[in-house]
Structures are given as C-alpha cells and as structure tokens.
Structure 1
Amino acid sequence: MKKTNQYQHKKILVLGLAKSGVSAASLLHSLGAFVTVNDFKPLDENPEAQGLLEQGIKVICGSHPIELLDEGFELIVKNPGIPYTNPLVAGAIDRGIPVITEVELAYQVSDAPIVGITGTNGKTTTTTLIFNMLQADKEFHPLIAGNIGTVASEVAQKATEDNQMIVELSSFQLMGIQSFKPHIAVITNIYEAHLDYHGTKQEYAKAKANITKNQSEEDYLIVNADQDELIELISFSKAKLIPFSTTTNLANGSSIINGMVSFLGEEIMPKSDITLPGDHNLENILAAVAAAKLLGVSNQAIRKVLTTFKGVKHRTQFVDEISGRRFFNDSKATNILAAQSALNAFNEPVILLAGGLDRGNGFDELIPAMKNVKAMITFGQTASKLEEVAQKAGIEIIKRVDNVEKAVPVAFDLSNPGDVILLSPACASWDQYKTFEVRGDIFIDAVHKLK
C-alpha cells in the first residue's frame, strides 16, 4: 500500500457506512486523519459503527444532523448510495467542502495498476471475464474489487506492484472521484438508468464518462463502437481509444472477423466455441478480450476462459433442469434493457417471472423481446404494469403471485418439457428484497425445493 500524508491530521467526515464506509473510515484512521463517522442507523442496531468506535473513531448515529457541517471538516467521504440532494451533502458542496467516494481513496493508496469497468449493463460479466482471463495466465496475480465484491479501498490496501486491480464501478462511485485514473478503462454501454438518482440521462452518462476524465495518452479506453452516442460522450478523453463491436470488423479493436474472435486483426478463437449464451454477452466478451490483450494475457488463457465460462451468478445463470424444464436466474436484470437481453438469448418457449420496485416507468419496450414468452408471472409493485404489457404482447397466460418464491412452483405447473423458466425482473428488488442477490438466492432455493 502506498503511504500518503495528505490526510494526516485532516478532519474528515465519513457519511454512511455499509462496506464502503467502514473501509474508508478504517483506512483514513490508519493514515492519521481525525475521522468522524455519521450513519443513519442507531448505534445499538449498528455493529459496523460499534466496531469503528472500538478503534477509537468518533461515531454519530441515528440521524444526519446538519450541524455537523459546523465542525470544520475538510473532506467528506460519501457512501455512493447517498444522493447529492441529501442536506448534509448539498450543504457541504455549498460550503466548498470536497465530497468523494471511497474508490478515490483506493486509487490513492493502490500500488497495483487499475482496470476499471463501468456501463449500464454487462459490468459484472465483463469484470469477471477479465479477472478470470488474468487468473488463467500464471504471469498475472489479479485482485477483483468494487461493486462485484470486496470494497476497492479494502483491496487496494493489500495490493502490490505484482497485482492488477480489476474494479467494477458504478455511476454513483464515479461521481465522487478527483484524481482516480485507471490504466485501462472499459465502458460496456450507456442506456437510460438510475434517473431517480441522476435526474437525467445526460447527467447519468456524464457520471459514467468520469472513468476517463483523468486518463492520459499512456492509458487505454475500451468502448462500445456500436453506440455513436457513447463515442461522442467520451470524445474529450486523452486515452488511446480501443473500440469493440459485434457488428463491424475492426482492425483497430476487438470484433468478430470471419467467425473468429479477433483483436487488432489477430485471430484468437472461433466464436462458435464460446460457452456463454446470448448476443449481449458477446459485447462483454469483446470488451474483456481487449482488456486482457492490452495487459499481455496469452491467447491460450483467453481461450480457456471463453470455452468454459457459463456466466455470473444472478446474470442469466443456469440453475437447474427439472423434468425437461431449464431454470435461469437473471435477478441482476434490474432494468428493461437487461431483461430484453436475457429474453433475446433464448429461442425456446419462455415463462417469464418479472416485477419489483416501481420507478415510474412503463414497460412497453419489453414487447419486441417477448416473442417467445408463453406465460408471465408477476409480483411486486410493478405487477399491474407488467400485466398490461403482457396483454399488449398477446401473452394469454398471466398470473400474479405475492413474491418470487411463490412464482417458481406456479411457473413449473404452467410449463412443459423444453421450456425455459426465467427470472428476469426488469426492476430493482427494493420493494420486497434488500438486494437483487437476495431475490436471486430465493429463486434458486425455490427451484431446488421443486426436487
């Protein structure tokens, strides 16, 4: 870990705990900062805060008192989920107090070069593929971090010059960077998302583009060349542009040429040997191949991963086959585009399980992808909206249930051998479940109970 004196004796407020806040507070404390932690959850219900208190860190729990801003903080490290409209955050910005997220701290202390991956969809799959490709080549010692697992600032403290940090990054995290600069940045795609946080698609896209704002001519930016809007968005970048495309042969990037996965014109392997299903995953694969090749990973290691990798948990994850029915867990499909991608991956009859948090949007955009859906089972706040869309799509069998667990046996009863039973909610989980992972695990358990 790099030693830095820039936080020594500085008065810093860590706002919001969860994993990122705990890691940030502990790290800053070890770097000599005077840390105060503020979390909304009461102290007696907050083991994380209690643990920090035992380290000698000042803890204020139960509310976010605006009076904290009068204590002379020089910096605020914000939990990514706390919006900038929060009175404490907005007040800090009005007073000129810098507000960052913990990925900025990770960059400042990491001895390892960073590969940063962002985008609306495909981040987790692309991050996992890059990590696996490096791991398959014995010359590399990758560490995976960010939204996909361990907090980046925690991993960075253990990273050495022999490691490579592969970090999945959200728009929320990227809004809070100052000097953060990945050696290789990847933007998988940009679609409308998280408008309840960002307000507009333009602000959301701008946050994603922050991944390249500090890159230099010695760095690389891997982007989806099939999105003209994205290419325009990152036109300011100083990094070397490495495009990938599923539709165009690219001599200067990553693409499919004559049926072969190719990078800079070099053939790596036949597309037909890839085990990961779905056209949407081809984008993720091409982006990952570009990152791996730029780092010097061997073609043999890349081929080993792409001929064995079958997906990330909760992302079009094959769960089981029961009496000729195949079950897939796509709980990570928290928006319409992700659900479209999952539906388009199957040619068999599909029974779709969908529903969740109502963010005020409609679902008509799902209709073109529902051509193989023979039945829909809905749940959650958006159940009635999805039922309307199913009717418009001409789906005759529509059932509403209380939750995901109850949806599974209903789907099985409606299915025939050869059918796909797909959980792809097209919505966030927070109306009924703490996370999409919890929702997906409940689906998996319900499938196993059928046996």
Structure 2
Amino acid sequence: MRDIKDYVHKKVLVLGLAKSGVGAANLLHRLGAFVTVNDNKPLSENPEAQGLLEQGITVICGSHPVELLDDGFELIVKNPGIPYHNEMIQAAIEKGIPIITEVELAYQISEAPFIAITGTNGKTTTTTLIFEMLKAGNKAPLIAGNIGTVASEVAQQATSENTIVIELSSFQLMGITTFKPRIAILTNLYEAHLDYHGTKGEYWSAKANITKYQTEEDYFIVNGDQESTFEIGQKSKADCVPFSTREFQSNGAYVLDDYLYFKDEKIIEISDIVLPGAHNLENILSAVAAAKLTNVSNEAIVEVLTTFTGVKHRLQYIGEIEGRKFYNDSKATNILATEKALTAFKTPIVLLAGGLDRGNGFDELIPFLHNVKTVVTFGQTAPKIEEVAQKAGIKTILRVDNVEKAVPVAFTHSNAGDVILLSPACASWDQYKTFEVRGDIFINAVHKLK
C-alpha cells in the first residue's frame, strides 16, 4: 500500500454503505481522514454502520439530510448505486464538493497495476478468465470489484508484484478523477441503465471513462466488431488493441481458419475451447489479449481455455446425465442474455424460462427459438413465454411451479444429445431473492437426478 498523506485531517463524507462504503470508510480512517458515514438504513438495522461506529467513525443513519453538507466536507465518496440526480448529490455538486467512488481511492493507494474491465455484457466472464490466465501464468493476480473483494480492501494488501484484475460498472467509472489502468477493456456497448444515466450517450460516456486517464504507455482492448467501441478506442491516448471474431487484426486478437490468434501468433484451435457461445468467444479474445500483454505464456492460456467451464450462473456447465448436458444461465435476467445463450448451442434445447413480470413481451425471442424442442415455464411470466413458444411452433410447452420442479420435467421430456438450459429471460424476484439463489436451486435439482 502506498503511503499517501492526501487525506490526513481531510473531512470526508462517505455516502451510502454496502461493501464499497464500508471499505472506503475504513481506508479513509486509516489514512487519517475525519470520516462521516451517511446511510439511508436505520442504525438498528445496519450492522455495517454499527461496526464503523465502534471504531470511532461518525455515523448518521436513517436518511440523507441535505443540511449535512453544510458541515464543510472537502470530498464525498459515493456509493455507485446512488444516482447523480439524487437530491443530496445535486446539492453537493452545487456546492462544488468533489465526488468520487471507492475505486478511485483504491487506485490512489495501490502499489499494483490494474487490468480493468467494463462493458454492457461479458464483464464477469472476461474478468474471471483474465484472473485465471494470470494465475496459471504465475503472475500473482488479485481479483477485485463487483465479483470479488472491494477494490479498496484488495489494494491495501497488493504489492508491486501483484496485478489487480477488476470489473467496473458505469456507475463506478463516473466517479474517477485519476484512475489509470495499465490495461483497460471495453467488451461491448448496448443500451442499458437509462434509469440511472438518462440517455444512451451519457451511459456510453461513463463507460469510456475507463480509458480517460490512460497514456501512450497503456493498452486499451476494444471490440473491433462494434463501431461504437472501436471509435472510443481510436480516440484513446492508449495503444488500441482490437479483438474480432470476424476480421484479421494486426495489433490484436482474432479468429482465422478456426484458430484463435494474437497478432501473428496462433494460440488455440477454437474446437478445443470448452466455454460455449459466440458471445463467450468475444470474451475469450479480449482475455487472451490482456494475458498476452501481461506476458502470460501460451501454455498457461491454453490450460485455462481447455478447462474453464464458465462463471457460476453464467452459461455454467453443470454436468451430463444420460447424454443430456445441463447448463445454468440463471444470470440471464433479460431477453438479450437468453438470446445469447440460445445461440451458443447447435443441438436440440429444452429451455427453462420464466420469472418476474416487468410488463414486457417476449416476441424478440422467437427468431432464437428454432433449436428449442421443449419449453418448461415457471413464475409470473409463464403465460407470456408460453404464448411466444406457441408462435415459434414449439409443440411441447409445460408449466411447473418453480425451478426445482422444472428440472425433472425437463429431463423426462428430453433425449440423449439434448441440452437442458436454464436461461430465464427474467429477474428472479417473484420467487427467489436473487438469481444466484435460483441458479443454486437448479444445480441442486440436477444433482438430485444423478
């Protein structure tokens, strides 16, 4: 950890807790700041805030009183989930108080360089792949951010011998002022999070912040098959390294004649890669580029690509029973994610789908259902998905109470060679607390069949 004096006796407000807020408050306290924590959850229901209070940190809970900003704060560290149109944030902006997110703090104290990954889809898989490749290549990686320990905690333990691999959201990237990853990756860009950002342009601009402070000494890996991401790469000061599933890239990663290449180097035959799906091939290409730029050997990269079966709940291979292969894609909480999952397989599919009804239809799925022989539905959206399955000409459509009951029904209506795929196209909250809980129930139900 770098010994910085920037925060000694500095009055800082940590706005919003959760893991990132707790991490930021603890780090700032360690750095000598006068820390006040403000969280909306009442203190009696807030063990995180109680723990900070016991350390002597000032804690104000139960609401976000705007008048708190009159106390002379020099900096606000904002929970990424709090939008900028929040009343408290707007008042802080009017007062000219700088606002950052926890990842900026982590960067300022870290001795280790960062590999940072963002994008609309594929962040978690790409981050995990890079971590595994660096680990196989003995590069002492540490994983941080949305899929690991919060960055400010990881950065305190990291040395110059480590590399921090971090997944970043657009929310986090709006709160950086110096963050400069050695390698940045923009996997792709689609319209998303408009309730937070307001417009597509604001969302894309937030994502582009990942390269904002990079220099000519850094690398920016971008999707060469997407005009929007490639344009951001061309405007970056960093060395732009494109990846493509369609075209040769002299300075990047690409597919040619059923092989994966980095620059002029043949890495692996595509058929030897275990992780299925065209969208995952994009994730793999960007991960390979990052690994090669970190001097990971081809042998280590190949070792990962021939054994890595996916991140949990993201098109995760569970196993095979009597010729049927089971995949858990519970993270597919929207139609686009399910479309990508369906395109990953050429064999007949038994699709398990349904969940929270957000008022949308599912007709967009119809072109992607040509390989689906049976649909098993559950949850609030069951009738809507059944209607779409009928439109697509699927003959076997079955409704069950929940995911646990869907698994044996799907098995009964399948044959050897089929894929049984949980890819709900819906959020889980009508029946399950999280998509992780839904996925775990699916996994357990599959194991019961064995």
Query: Deviation per CA, 1:343-386, whole angstroms, max 9, x where unpaired?
Result: 11112222222234455544333222211112323344544443
Deviation for aligned residue 1:167: 0.5
Is residue 198–residue 204 contact of structure 1 (8 Å, CA) maintained in 2? yes
Is 1:69 aligned to residue 69 of structure 2?
Answer: yes
The percentage of aligned residue pairs carrying the same residue is: 72
Task: Give 1:41's aligned residue.
Answer: 41
Deviation for aligned residue 1:93: 2.1
CA distance in 1, matches of 2:148, 2:15: 21
Task: Give 1:103's aligned residue.
Answer: 103
Task: Give 1:17's aligned residue.
Answer: 17
Task: Give 1:92's aligned residue.
Answer: 92
CA distance in 1, matches of 2:354, 2:200: 23
The 5-angstrom pairing of residues 209-288 of structure 1 reads 209-288=208-287
Is residue 314–residue 440 contact of structure 1 (8 Å, CA) maintained in 2? yes
Q: CA RMSD in A?
A: 2.0
CA distance in 1, matches of 2:431, 2:177: 36
Deviation for aligned residue 1:401: 4.3
Is residue 234–residue 240 contact of structure 2 (8 Å, CA) maintained in 1? no
Task: Give 1:418's aligned residue.
Answer: 417
Task: Give 1:30's aligned residue.
Answer: 30
CA distance in 1, matches of 2:233, 2:169: 17
CA distance in 2, matches of 1:402, 1:67: 50
Pair 11,378 (structure 1): closer, same or farther in 2 beyond 3 Å: farther
Instruction: Output the amino acid matched with 1:106.
Output: A
Deviation for aligned residue 1:203: 2.0
Deviation for aligned residue 1:241: 0.4
Is residue 125–residue 310 contact of structure 2 (8 Å, CA) maintained in 1? yes
Query: Equivalent residue of 1:143, what SS?
Result: strand
CA distance in 2, matches of 1:175, 1:358: 31
Task: Give 1:192's aligned residue.
Answer: 191
CA distance in 2, matches of 1:401, 1:80: 38
Instruction: Output the amino acid matched with 1:238.
Output: K
Pair 89,398 (structure 1): closer, same or farther in 2 beyond 3 Å: farther
Instruction: Output the amino acid matched with 1:11.
Output: K
Query: Deviation per CA, 1:370-425, whole angstroms, max 9, x where unpaired?
Result: 11112323344544443343233223333444443343344334333433221112
Deviation for aligned residue 1:243: 0.5
Query: Equivalent residue of 1:332, what SS?
Result: coil
Query: Deviation per CA, 1:111-135, whole angstroms, max 9, x where unpaired?
Result: 0000001111111111111111111
Is residue 331–residue 423 contact of structure 1 (8 Å, CA) maintained in 2? yes
Range 53-62 or range 82-91, more displaced: 82-91
Deviation for aligned residue 1:62: 2.1
Task: Give 2:327's aligned residue.
Answer: 328
Is residue 196–residue 359 contact of structure 1 (8 Å, CA) maintained in 2? no
Task: Give 2:404's aligned residue.
Answer: 405
The 5-angstrom pairing of residues 289-300 of structure 1 reads 289-300=288-299
CA distance in 2, matches of 1:201, 1:361: 20
Instruction: Output the amino acid matched with 1:115.
Output: I
Instruction: Output the amino acid matched with 2:82.
Output: I
CA distance in 2, matches of 1:168, 1:18: 17
Deviation for aligned residue 1:331: 1.4
Instruction: Output the amino acid matched with 2:89.
Output: V
CA distance in 1, matches of 2:133, 2:433: 32
Is residue 374–residue 395 contact of structure 2 (8 Å, CA) maintained in 1? yes
Query: Equivalent residue of 1:282, what SS?
Result: helix
CA distance in 2, matches of 1:424, 1:225: 28
CA distance in 1, matches of 2:429, 2:196: 15
Instruction: Output the amino acid matched with 2:123.
Output: K
Is residue 3–residue 109 contact of structure 2 (8 Å, CA) maintained in 1? yes
Query: Equivalent residue of 2:235, what SS?
Result: coil
CA distance in 1, matches of 2:124, 2:68: 36
Task: Give 2:115's aligned residue.
Answer: 115
Deviation for aligned residue 1:433: 3.6
Query: Equivalent residue of 2:394, what SS?
Result: coil
Deviation for aligned residue 1:192: 1.9
Range 368-377 or range 298-307, more displaced: 368-377
Range 382-391 or range 49-58, more displaced: 382-391
CA distance in 1, matches of 2:433, 2:81: 13
CA distance in 2, matches of 1:357, 1:13: 36
Pair 337,73 (structure 1): closer, same or farther in 2 beyond 3 Å: same
The 5-angstrom pairing of residues 162-173 of structure 1 reads 162-173=161-172
Query: Deviation per CA, 1:36-94, whole angstroms, max 9, x where unpaired?
Result: 11222222222111111111111122222233222222222122222223222222223
CA distance in 2, matches of 1:388, 1:75: 53
Is 1:134 aligned to residue 134 of structure 2?
Answer: yes
Instruction: Output the amino acid matched with 1:286.
Output: L
Is residue 230–residue 242 contact of structure 2 (8 Å, CA) maintained in 1? no
Q: What are structure 1's unaligned runs of at least 5 residues?
A: none
Instruction: Output the amino acid matched with 1:32.
Output: G
Range 282-291 or range 439-448, more displaced: 439-448
How many residue pairs match? The answer is: 450
Instruction: Output the amino acid matched with 1:220.
Output: Y
Range 318-327 or range 380-389, more displaced: 380-389
Deviation for aligned residue 1:254: 0.6
Is residue 220–residue 233 contact of structure 2 (8 Å, CA) maintained in 1? no
CA distance in 2, matches of 1:297, 1:272: 22
Deviation for aligned residue 1:441: 1.5
CA distance in 2, matches of 1:213, 1:161: 23
Is residue 355–residue 427 contact of structure 1 (8 Å, CA) maintained in 2? yes
Is 1:376 aligned to residue 375 of structure 2?
Answer: yes
Query: Equivalent residue of 1:292, what SS?
Result: helix
CA distance in 2, matches of 1:356, 1:114: 37
Instruction: Output the amino acid matched with 2:185.
Output: V
Pair 88,359 (structure 1): closer, same or farther in 2 beyond 3 Å: farther
TM-score, normalised on structure 1?
0.94
Task: Give 1:449's aligned residue.
Answer: 448
Deviation for aligned residue 1:431: 4.6
Is residue 121–residue 189 contact of structure 1 (8 Å, CA) maintained in 2? yes
TM-score, normalised on structure 2?
0.94
Instruction: Output the amino acid matched with 1:98.
Output: P
Deviation for aligned residue 1:443: 1.9
Is residue 250–residue 265 contact of structure 1 (8 Å, CA) maintained in 2? no
CA distance in 1, matches of 2:378, 2:104: 39
Instruction: Output the amino acid matched with 1:349.
Output: P
Range 429-438 or range 227-236, more displaced: 429-438
Is 1:427 aligned to residue 398 of structure 2?
Answer: no
Query: Deviation per CA, 1:178-230, whole angstroms, max 9, x where unpaired?
Result: 11111100111111222232233222222111111111111110001000122
Deviation for aligned residue 1:265: 1.0
